Amino acid sequence: CWSGDGRHIATTSEDRTARIWSLDADLATACVAHEKAPDHCSFFPDGRRLLTTMRSGEAVISDVRGRQRAVLRGHRGGAN
Chain segment 25-39, per-residue pLDDT in tens: 766 666 777 778 888
Sign of the alpha-carbon dihedral angle for 30, 36, 42, 47 = negative
On the question of pLDDT at 20 being above 90, the answer is no
> Given this model, what pLDDT does residue 73 score?
83
> Given this model, what pLDDT does residue 42 score?
92
What's the pTM value of the predicted model, to 2 decimals?
0.78
- pLDDT tens figures, 28-77: 666 777 778 888 899 999 888 999 888 778 888 988 888 888 888 876 66
